[in-house]
Chain A
Amino acid sequence: MAENDLRTTHAPPEDVASTPPLLSMRGIRKSFSGVEVLHGVDLTLYSGEVLALLGENGAGKSTLIKILNGDYTRDAGEIFLAGNPVSLKSPRDAERLGIRVIYQELNYAPDLSVAENVLLGHLPHRRGPLGRFMVDWSEAFRRAERILASLNAHVDLRQPLRQLSVGKQQTVEIAKALSGQARILVMDEPTAALTPHEVTLLFETIARLRAQGVAIIYISHRLDEVERIAQRITVLRDGNVVGTVPISEVKRRDIVRMMIGRDLPTIDPRRHAVQGATALEVSHLSRPGAFTDVSFTLREGEIIGLFGLLGAGHAELIRAIFADEPATSGEIKIYGQAVHASSPRAVKRLRVGFVPEDRKVDGLILDMSVAENITLANWRNLSHYGVLQRRQERSRALHWMEHLSIRTTRGIQQEVRTLSGGNQQKTILARWLEHGTRLLLLCEPTRGVDIGARADIYATLEELREQGMALLLVSSDMDEILLMSDRVLVFARGRLVAEFDSSRANQELLLSAAAGGDA
């Protein structure tokens, strides 16, 4: 790690300078089936700081966190909590020591009330001989209220959790962690499902927690967020710590280089490419409760970005175009042909492809091979009287894997479940290219995808655009929308409220337009 000698520092952030670290992990090693994935990792965490833990998928972040949470036991190394060595053998140990992990998939009882969720596993009981079988509800509500108040969260304690927005649910999850007296909070991609407004609220919550002395390990692929809230970063690569530095001392370029070990190629989309015929024409499209009277046109060789806050209707619109939940009125024309499709199958026939928001739920057959997932939408052309032509299937799959650099360890027969997020996403992209798609609808194509694969996906989309494909892109990542789109359509409350030429748009413009509908 000589290259990073200057950077590697265990100096605490200025504001907590002289205090000893709250958590110190030293020389952590871990192997699975004889292969070492952590090669002696050090990590220090001080009270009241946000430490961003960065690295590409597979760098060892989640293994390290699972060791901290007691899910895995370390093969070597020591863990000190406030200077005392601790052994972490189970998540219960971790919880007792005040270490809580909030995973991407929130983990709660959706039909129980907010108060019960906050106190899950710690519900207070009454006194007396039979008291411990009876919940002390007034005490429970008092406690839950106190914790939520400390987070400045205004939530109805009696409401079932299911009825809250994702952002509020996450607040409850944090409150739940605090009810167990958490001193160390690990957040794994906490903003993945949040709207920009909810992200701001979350960051306020994090600031409040810091003030209370809680230490936070923050895992995210979004460097802009990391720059907003972290004081220090620790970067992992291939199971080693590349460096630990105060965020104020590095630029984003440096962080990326630390993460992937090289510079990213810059993507410079060729703006105002020659645009061809009208690929998609949407006029007065409505579906009650989702979107109202939306009209726009998309041409060949153009990427239109759809932006809006959660529930603004743009995500519903793109699904309606693919007839997942069809619109109830209005007209869709695809390449001049009016479409009255009632199923995705019918729209697909018009050479339209759809990359869904949640690839594991809506996109992939996780138990099937990469090859089968790639060819899934094109079996008709790869079969002869209903019999699959295995050789053809194989060669098509190989073609796309090479073209989109989909990485597998066991070739095309590997279960797609075992691939990283980026490679899974490329697999879905390959499916629609194999299908011969000329109009591609994309929802959050790079969510949970690491930086390297994200650059691959952007390059592919750009290449497709240049080849004359028409692309419609829904993304909550404003950088992505602004980088990739020719035009951005902003939605609020189900209506198309603004249109920007993306060369003239910026984040503030998009956000204020998107929030405008709420006023």
Chain B
Amino acid sequence: MISDHTEQKQESQKTGPVRRNGLRFDWQEALGLLGIYVILIVALSILSPYFLSVNNFLNILVAISVIGIMSVATTMVIVSGGIDLSIGSVVAIAGVIVSSLSLAVPMPLAILAALGIGIVVGCLNGLAVTRFNINPLIATLGMLSIVRGFAFVLSGGLTRDIFDEGFGFLGRGYLLGIPFQVIVMAILFLLAAWVMRQTTFGRSIYAIGGNAQAARLAGLPVRRLQMTVYILSGLSAAIGGVFLASQLSAGAPAAATGIELSVIAAVILGGSSLNGGKGTIWGTLLGVLILGTLNNGLTLLNVSSYYQDVARGVVLLLAVGLDQLRLRLIRRP
């Protein structure tokens, strides 16, 4: 066969980064984020005497665990080229269901029912996107409203307390000195990172997010994969809802309003692209950690929570903006 050496030469100038695409934790890709995180920690350590301690770090982990648990599946949704705005409402309805059913049925059954609702909502989202070709932003925006509405209907608009000793363990218990929900979050992150890197399911998600049409023509079951991803998203939101209800010892229909935006912000901060096909679980973890640490630090510094919102927005814009700049410098032909 013929060698076309001229092509080779040109390509070396195109300086395309060897994208591992989640194959391996790409240090170069994550360096910017890691840098931001280190700077944040150093700055907060200097500014606040209370910041740098094991206890405070555990506080941060507890505070981010609900968002963290949800962000894992949200990363999959976003990498697949979709988006799920309904997860905040699912958190609320899961809590409402646990609190309503806990008086009538055994607690495990109530929890299962809550998780089931998450799966149902995920199914509906998936059907809307794959069968009715509704844009995922619109489909899940509609579902956000519907599910939140049902949360109020089911609860009569009331926050209901949960009286169950065992249930409190989920959100407030410790295992070997580590908060239980932090352990759950850690396991989910490890599992998801492995799934996204090593399994055909994970790689297929990258493929359909990168180019759904090409993936379909290569014989991937695109609709089934999208369906699965939305179901996982609904399920993980329901898990988050159960943990939140346990933390609060109550099911509140107004809980977690707007949490979907915090989750998506963390995922995007972690380097996922809203266009799909790009993003890593470890990047998302860094994104969640950065936003959580920022909140914690600003609270320690007695910054008003209004300004905390401002700071979160600024960090998100700065991080993503800097990342774009960096990519442009690397990609420069």
Binding site for B on A (CB under 8 A): 32-33, 35, 37, 56-60, 237-238, 260, 264-265, 322, 324, 343-345, 348-349, 354, 356, 361-369, 372, 376-377, 379-380, 383, 386-388, 390, 404-405, 407-411, 413-415, 417-420, 422-423, 431, 450, 452-453, 455-456, 459-460
> B38 on the interface (CB 8 Å rule)?
no
A431 to B220 CA separation, bound complex (whole angstroms): 13
With both beta carbons as reference points, the residue of chain A lying nearest to B224 in the complex is identified as: A345
A376 to B208 CA separation, bound complex (whole angstroms): 11
A377 near B219: Cβ-Cβ < 8 Å: yes
> B314 on the interface (CB 8 Å rule)?
no
B-side contacts of A422, CB under 8 Å: 4, 7
A418 near B277: Cβ-Cβ < 8 Å: no
B217 near A356: Cβ-Cβ < 8 Å: yes
A368 near B11: Cβ-Cβ < 8 Å: no
Asked if A366 meets B210 with Cβ closer than 8 Å, knowing A35-B13, A344-B216, the reply is: yes
B14 near A453: Cβ-Cβ < 8 Å: no
Which of A35, A238, A388, A459 neighbours the largest number of chain B CB atoms within 10 Å of its CB? A388
A383 near B21: Cβ-Cβ < 8 Å: no
Given A368-B210, A420-B10, 18 extra CB contacts under 8 A: A32-B15, A35-B12, A57-B6, A58-B7, A260-B4, A322-B217, A349-B219, A368-B207, A376-B218, A379-B204, A383-B200, A388-B198, A388-B199, A409-B8, A418-B11, A418-B16, A422-B7, A452-B2
In the assembled complex, how far is the CB of residue A326 from the closest CB belonging to chain B, in whole angstroms?
A: 13
With both beta carbons as reference points, the residue of chain B lying nearest to A34 in the complex is identified as: B13
Q: Which of B6, B18, B203, B277 contacts A59 (CB 8 A)?
A: B6
A-side contacts of B278, CB under 8 Å: 367
A-side contacts of B134, CB under 8 Å: none
B-side contacts of A386, CB under 8 Å: 199-201
A368 to B276 CA separation, bound complex (whole angstroms): 12
Instruction: Provide the B1-30 mask, 1 if CB < 8 A to any CB of A, else 0.
Output: 111111111111111111111010000000
A369 to B24 CA separation, bound complex (whole angstroms): 13
A362 near B217: Cβ-Cβ < 8 Å: yes
A-side contacts of B18, CB under 8 Å: 369, 410-411, 413-415
25 CB contacts below 8 A, A to B, read: A32-B332, A35-B12, A37-B13, A56-B7, A58-B6, A343-B216, A362-B217, A365-B214, A367-B21, A368-B210, A372-B203, A377-B218, A380-B200, A386-B200, A387-B198, A388-B199, A388-B203, A407-B3, A407-B5, A409-B11, A411-B18, A413-B18, A417-B16, A420-B10, A453-B4
Q: Which of B4, B213, B214, B221 contacts A407 (CB 8 A)?
A: B4
A-side contacts of B7, CB under 8 Å: 56-58, 407, 420, 422-423, 450, 452-453
With both beta carbons as reference points, the residue of chain A lying nearest to B1 in the complex is identified as: A405
Which of B1, B17, B278 neighbours the largest number of chain A CB atoms within 10 Å of its CB? B1
Chain A, interface SS category: mixed
B215 near A365: Cβ-Cβ < 8 Å: yes
> B333 on the interface (CB 8 Å rule)?
yes
Binding site for A on B (CB under 8 A): 1-21, 23, 198-201, 203-204, 206-207, 210-211, 213-221, 277-278, 332-333
In the assembled complex, how far is the CB of residue B60 from the closest CB belonging to chain A, in whole angstroms?
A: 33
In the assembled complex, how far is the CB of residue B55 from the closest CB belonging to chain A, in whole angstroms?
A: 39
In the assembled complex, how far is the CB of residue B24 from the closest CB belonging to chain A, in whole angstroms?
A: 9
In the assembled complex, how far is the CB of residue A68 from the closest CB belonging to chain B, in whole angstroms?
A: 16
- How many cross-chain pairs have Cβ atoms below 8 Å apart between A and B? 167
With both beta carbons as reference points, the residue of chain B lying nearest to A35 in the complex is identified as: B13
B-side contacts of A343, CB under 8 Å: 216
A456 to B1 CA separation, bound complex (whole angstroms): 6
With both beta carbons as reference points, the residue of chain B lying nearest to A412 in the complex is identified as: B18
Which of A365, A369, A456 neighbours the largest number of chain B CB atoms within 10 Å of its CB? A365
A368 near B204: Cβ-Cβ < 8 Å: no
A344 near B219: Cβ-Cβ < 8 Å: yes
A-side contacts of B332, CB under 8 Å: 32-33
A404 near B1: Cβ-Cβ < 8 Å: yes
In the assembled complex, how far is the CB of residue A311 from the closest CB belonging to chain B, in whole angstroms?
A: 21
In the assembled complex, how far is the CB of residue A379 from the closest CB belonging to chain B, in whole angstroms?
A: 4
B217 near A372: Cβ-Cβ < 8 Å: no
Q: Which of A32, A237, A372, A460 contacts B21 (CB 8 A)?
A: A372
B6 near A32: Cβ-Cβ < 8 Å: no
A264 to B2 CA separation, bound complex (whole angstroms): 9
B-side contacts of A453, CB under 8 Å: 4, 7
Which of A59, A409, A415, A455 neighbours the largest number of chain B CB atoms within 10 Å of its CB? A409
In the assembled complex, how far is the CB of residue A394 from the closest CB belonging to chain B, in whole angstroms?
A: 11
A411 to B19 CA separation, bound complex (whole angstroms): 12
B207 near A365: Cβ-Cβ < 8 Å: yes
A413 near B16: Cβ-Cβ < 8 Å: no
A293 to B122 CA separation, bound complex (whole angstroms): 43
A-side contacts of B221, CB under 8 Å: 345
A408 near B11: Cβ-Cβ < 8 Å: yes
Asked if A367 meets B210 with Cβ closer than 8 Å, knowing A58-B10, A418-B14, A456-B2, the reply is: yes
A58 near B11: Cβ-Cβ < 8 Å: yes
In the assembled complex, how far is the CB of residue B52 from the closest CB belonging to chain A, in whole angstroms?
A: 39
A-side contacts of B13, CB under 8 Å: 32-33, 35, 37
A-side contacts of B201, CB under 8 Å: 386
Asked if A376 meets B3 with Cβ closer than 8 Å, knowing A32-B332, A414-B18, the reply is: no
A193 to B215 CA separation, bound complex (whole angstroms): 24
B-side contacts of A377, CB under 8 Å: 218-219
A-side contacts of B210, CB under 8 Å: 365-368
B10 near A37: Cβ-Cβ < 8 Å: yes
With both beta carbons as reference points, the residue of chain B lying nearest to A435 in the complex is identified as: B219
B-side contacts of A388, CB under 8 Å: 198-200, 203
With both beta carbons as reference points, the residue of chain A lying nearest to B15 in the complex is identified as: A33
A415 near B214: Cβ-Cβ < 8 Å: no
A-side contacts of B206, CB under 8 Å: 365, 367-368
A380 to B218 CA separation, bound complex (whole angstroms): 12
With both beta carbons as reference points, the residue of chain B lying nearest to A33 in the complex is identified as: B15
A52 to B277 CA separation, bound complex (whole angstroms): 39
B277 near A413: Cβ-Cβ < 8 Å: no
With both beta carbons as reference points, the residue of chain A lying nearest to B278 in the complex is identified as: A367
B-side contacts of A361, CB under 8 Å: 211, 213-214
Asked if A362 meets B214 with Cβ closer than 8 Å, knowing A345-B221, A368-B207, A388-B200, the reply is: yes
